[in-house]
Structure 1
Amino acid sequence: MSGEVKRSYSSPLREQAAASTRLLVRDAGHRLFARDGFVATSIKKIAHEAGVSERTVYTHYRNKVELFQDALNVAIAGDELPVAMRDRPSFEELLRMSSARELIDEAVAANAVILERAGALIMAGIESSGADADMRRISDEGEHAMRANCLALATALIGTGEVRPEYGAERVADVLTTMLSPHVFQLMGWSSSRYQGWLADALRATLLMP
């Protein structure tokens, strides 16, 4: 009796096509979530925007929340690596800077890049968090991560010896969390360069000794 062993078949071309389709779907979702909000964006609309069937969307994402979370994660990070911003080498390098003024400049520049990519999605999540429990969870997780990152930046700033003596780490983190938020970025509606220049000046004037 011959025992025929079934072998799994993996085609690089098939995997590449699947990855390309997933990217189409994610990008379509990003555009619609940012433009219309989470609640008003349906899987049907995302499929139409991506030029695929609804079934194809569900092949890559179990539901709309999972698609939003993936789009948000990639927009914030700028890539698909499952590594939190706090654990990335670029953030660690930022925390090691010895000049408070340079640290503020680099933090503001990095934050502007993130908000250009993800600001509208973050706001879409916040705006729908009152009507959807999953979006509340995602928004809360984002706020907690932002606070933790700002507290790390605050500690690094104080370590330079240039922060006003009356400002402790929590107070510095309060200022950073507020000023670096997507709310401020959207309310200003300025170009990235104008936003960065104003924000860096404001943080230096507020936090650092003359």
Structure 2
Amino acid sequence: MATVKKRTYDMANRAHQAAETRRRIVEAAARLFLRHGYAATSMNAVATEAGVAVQTVYASMRTKRDILEAVIQSTVRGDEDEIPIAAAPRWRQMEAETDPREKLALFTRVHREICEREAELFVVLETAAAVDPEIAPLLRDKERFRYEDQARVARSLSRQGQLRPRLSARKASDIIWALASERVYLALVKERGWSIDEYEAWLTDQLAAGLLAA
């Protein structure tokens, strides 16, 4: 019995150490991608930044593409838990909200927080995808997942009869996808100097005006 318990403890400890090493690699890569770009960041540089051997980086993540994918996923979620955005408690709270304006405000707050974490890394991904055919599918998948998540908001409003007359859930999804994007966030906040609070209030107003019944 003692041997079994020790083996179980050792396995759990190794799993914890592996997860911690992966976290350090992902965080180090994110810093380097932002600092130097994807193409200029080597696996050796990631290893040095993370404080591990380069062999450890390859064993944990295999390729630089895999590292970029993990960086994007973890920054969108805000952690490394394998929990999709649409399954997170705050997202469920937003979908359950019956007041349409408050529903959009809750959605916009989640979107704002994602952009604060991830928008500049989105530029890294978009730039890499333009020149590297191995990265292009990552960008397509990310945009598809964003659309699917945002379409849930539109369908929720549609089920509750809160969309404007003759506005389909599909068209409402398109409107949300077009307005609630990293590109718009970067244009207004990073290029035009809006505060994040101004951006959040503007986006809530625009979504309400474009989607909700009077």
Q: Normalising by the residue count of structure 1, what TM-score does the alignment of the two structures yield?
A: 0.86
Are 2:202 and 1:198 aligned?
A: yes
Q: Which one has more relative contact order, counting CA pairs under 8 Å at least 6 apart?
A: 1
Tell me which residue corresponds to 1:186: 186
Residues 133-153 of structure 1 deviation map (CA, whole Å, 9 limit, x = unaligned)? 331111111111111112211
Query: In structure 2, what residue type is equivalent to 1:86?
Result: A
Deviates more, 1:43-52 or 1:196-205: 43-52
Q: What displacement does 1:37 show?
A: 2.4
Which whole-Å CA distance do the structure 2 matches of 1:174 and 1:15 have between them? 41
Q: What displacement does 1:176 show?
A: 0.4
Query: In structure 2, what residue type is equivalent to 1:81?
Result: D
Query: In structure 1, what residue type is equivalent to 2:96?
Result: R
Residues 179-207 of structure 1 deviation map (CA, whole Å, 9 limit, x = unaligned)? 11111111112332221111111111222
Residues 13/163 of structure 1: CA separation in 2 closer, same or farther (3 Å cut) = closer
Which whole-Å CA distance do the structure 2 matches of 1:18 and 1:56 have between them? 10
Q: What displacement does 1:14 show?
A: 5.5
Are 2:156 and 1:152 aligned?
A: no
Deviates more, 1:125-134 or 1:195-204: 125-134
Q: Which sections of structure 2, spanning at least 5 residues, go unmatched?
A: 1-5
Residues 83/18 of structure 1: CA separation in 2 closer, same or farther (3 Å cut) = closer
More helix by share: 2
Matched position secondary structure for 2:33: helix
Which whole-Å CA distance do the structure 2 matches of 1:182 and 1:161 have between them? 29
Deviates more, 1:7-16 or 1:49-58: 7-16
Q: What displacement does 1:11 show?
A: 6.6
Tell me which residue corresponds to 1:109: 109
Number of positions where the alignment pairs a residue of Structure 1 with one of Structure 2 = 204
Which whole-Å CA distance do the structure 2 matches of 1:187 and 1:154 have between them? 24
**Aligned mate of 1:208, from 196, 205, 212:** 212
Query: In structure 2, what residue type is equivalent to 1:75?
Result: T
Deviates more, 1:9-18 or 1:36-45: 9-18
Tell me which residue corresponds to 2:3: none
Residues 149/16 of structure 1: CA separation in 2 closer, same or farther (3 Å cut) = closer
Q: CA RMSD in A?
A: 2.3
Q: What displacement does 1:66 show?
A: 1.1
Matched position secondary structure for 1:98: coil
Are 2:49 and 1:49 aligned?
A: yes
Q: Normalising by the residue count of structure 2, what TM-score does the alignment of the two structures yield?
A: 0.84
Which whole-Å CA distance do the structure 2 matches of 1:188 and 1:21 have between them? 36
Residues 2-49 of structure 1 deviation map (CA, whole Å, 9 limit, x = unaligned)? xxxxx9692766554444332222111011223332222211222232
Residues 160/35 of structure 1: CA separation in 2 closer, same or farther (3 Å cut) = farther
Tell me which residue corresponds to 1:125: 125
